Amino acid sequence: MIVKFLRESITAAGLLLLIRLYLGYSWLTSGWGKLSGGFDASGFLKGAVANPVKGPEGVVYGWWTSFLESFAIPNAGIFNTLIPWGEFLVGLGLILGCLTPAAAFFGVVMNFSFLISGTISHNPTDILMGILIMVAGYNAGRFGLDYFINRRLLNREGREVSTDKI
């Protein structure tokens, strides 16, 4: 019932627009700050390895710590590019409503990466909003560029496009 509401309701599309704009602005400004101010992920990566997430029985995400230590830190330059551009493009996609579920997916992946690296911040809330957008699918971008992209794709496949369904 909730999924049907998220996927089909115009009211849900309006609420999702507000969530998209809020979350998109957060991602866009975070990415832009890193792009324009110089960003170096090596300190964060080294901190995540030095202080891994621990539970009662030791390190919880040993595989993640190994990944950071063996791949991410030696290739910090790649992450210095991927993180700012990823944040900026996720924000742009959410604000414009362009490939909205994909933008939300990549935002959720980044949030989980930050979370399992030991940064709590607002990541759980962002993950929840991203999942709502992904579950809503097309409807999350109904008031955005996805509307025009989906219309164009449906016309290209030779289907009749009804404005009632879009």
* Extents of the domains making up the chain: 2-156
Q: How far apart are CA 71 and CA 65, in angstroms?
A: 10
Q: For residue 10, is pLDDT > 70?
A: yes
- What is the reported pLDDT for 156? 65
Contact 142, 93 (CB under 8 A): no
Mean pLDDT over 108-127 rounds to 95
- What is the reported pLDDT for 151? 82
- What is the reported pLDDT for 65? 95
- The residues facing 94 across adjacent strands are none
Mean pLDDT over 142-148 rounds to 93
Mean pLDDT over 79-93 rounds to 97
Q: For residue 152, is pLDDT > 90?
A: no
Q: For residue 164, is pLDDT > 80?
A: no
Q: What is the largest CA-CA distance in the chain?
A: 59
Q: Determine the straight-line distance between the first and last CA of the chain, rounded to whole angstroms.
A: 20
Cα-based distances in Å from 115 to 17, 55, 85, 141, 162: 25, 14, 19, 26, 42
Q: For residue 165, is pLDDT > 70?
A: no
Contact 91, 33 (CB under 8 A): no
pLDDT over 70, % of the chain = 92
Q: For residue 124, is pLDDT > 60?
A: yes
Q: Rounded to 5, what percent of the chain is helix, strand, coil?
A: 75, 0, 25
Indicate the pTM of the whole model: 0.88
